[in-house]
Amino acid sequence: MSKNLKTSDIAKTLGVHVNTVRLYEARGYLSAVPRSSTGYRQYTRLHLEQMKLAHLALQWPYSDDKALVQELVRCAADDDLGMAMEMAYEHLINVRIELTHAEAAVEFLERWTQGQMIDTTKRRLTIGQTAQHLSVTTDQLRNWDRNGLLDVPRDSETGYRMYSAREMGRLRVIRMLRQSGYSLMAILRVLRKFDTGERESLRETLDTPGTEENIETLADHWLSTLQQQEERALAIIQQVTVIAKLLIH
């Protein structure tokens, strides 16, 4: 490969459109690109490695870390590799925290499905009392009910929903899974399996959308998404190292 690279060379190597290369350059994800006397861009190996970093880092679809990884890539383009590396590790920490939450929520689910008691209260609570007790809103409880995540018995006289220890335990599982990033569809999928008496492979069920599901989101297979992103975060660290070595030499 020649010392100077064309826009098409960069695009072909990464399997992207040439406009993507120009867009990343315009957004500051590449260091300044010199031009020939005829006005053509003259990319170097450094630009190629910076483009690899940008392409790798900016594929993370989870919005909470979007600003961090964008700044990480810009720091690498500005030759501030120390800050870029620090941010790369911060991103890895964030991903691992999310992964820990997701794994812990699954363990909580498995504990509940194995029959271990979560709530022992003997009182029956109204929807308002339940919402206050679990620190959720009544709208959330109604939404989970409407989406089939639980079936709450009603008082024979008043017709109001009344939540017992059985419903409270199920609600704690739902809340934990939701707070850890799982979609309503993923939770419904695993609870339906549980309600049929199945107790095996619930982790896989939670992470695997069914063929009958029309819409699929990242949160429908959240565990595997986070596991893949952990690998990507480690690859980002390695790519920052590659750029640093280029600058040193």
Q: Look up tokens 């690109």; give the residue.
A: 33
Taking Cα atoms as reference points, which of 94, 72, 92, 91 lies closest to residue 83? 72
Residue 186 host element (H or E): helix 184-195
Q: Which of 27-41, 80-94, 111-125 has the lowest mean pLDDT?
A: 111-125
Residue 95 host element (H or E): helix 81-113
Q: Which two tokens stand for residue 152?
A: 């709450």
What value does the mean pLDDT take over residues 147-175? 92
Sign of the Cα pseudo-torsion (20, 69, 226, 170, in order): negative
The C-alpha atoms of residue 8 and residue 219 are separated, in whole angstroms, by 35
What value does the mean pLDDT take over residues 145-163? 91
Looking at residue 39, its pLDDT comes to 86
- Which class would CATH give 1-58? mainly alpha
Please give the single-letter amino acid code of residue 192: R
Q: Is the domain covering 106-219 a CATH 1.10.1660.10 domain?
A: yes
pLDDT tops 70 at residue 61: no
What value does the mean pLDDT take over residues 85-97? 96
With 0.75 as the threshold, say if the pTM is over it. Answer: yes
Residue ranges matching CATH 1.10.1660.10 in the chain: 1-58, 106-219
Q: How far apart are the first and last CA of the chain?
A: 18
Across the chain, which distance is largest between two alpha carbons, in Å?
Answer: 88
